[in-house]
């Protein structure tokens, strides 16, 4: 599993998603509840950026139609989205936030 640096931990603000690109894949990096999560930045319902949505209770909400995706599993807990969004393993090394595009944990 190859981890790559996406940003500095100190660049992240609690509950404020940060959009990064990793090998051309848009990823939303989220610091919430003391943990960092990485989730594909494209909503599974339509082609909009999840990083423009709000974070609450370990979920990120799509700003367009309001589906909420669990940052731990990528699963939606509200319609209209029915398919999960990929989530990616995260490692913290010092101030570096590292993400692997592999979905194996």
Binding residues vs ligand FES (CB under 6 A): 43, 45-46, 48, 62, 64-65, 67, 80-81
Nearest residue (CB) to ligand FES, 49 versus 100 = 49
Instruction: Give the sheet arrangement for strand 90-93, strand by strand.
Output: 4-8, 96-99, 90-93
Q: Which residue has the tokens 């051309």?
A: 24
Nearest residue (CB) to ligand FES, 80 versus 89 = 80
CB of 64 to ligand FES, least distance (A): 4
CB of 65 to ligand FES, least distance (A): 3
CB 55 within 8 A of CB 15: yes
Nearest residue (CB) to ligand FES, 9 versus 48 = 48
Other C-beta atoms lying within 10 Å of the C-beta of residue 94? 7
CB of 24 to ligand FES, least distance (A): 21
Looking at residue 46, what DSSP letter applies? S
Looking at residue 65, what DSSP letter applies? T
């Amino acid at each position: 599993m190859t981890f790559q640096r996406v940003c500095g931990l100190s660049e992240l603000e609690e509950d404020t998603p940060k959009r990064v690109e990793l090998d051309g894949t848009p990823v939303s990096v989220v610091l919430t509840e003391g943990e960092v999560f990485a989730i594909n930045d494209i909503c599974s319902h339509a082609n909009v950026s999840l990083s423009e949505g709000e974070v609450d209770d370990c979920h990120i909400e799509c700003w367009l139609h309001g589906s909420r995706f669990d940052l731990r599993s990528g699963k939606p807990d509200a319609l209209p989205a029915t398919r999960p969004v990929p989530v990616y393993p995260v490692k913290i090394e010092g101030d570096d936030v590292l993400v692997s595009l592999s979905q194996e944990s």
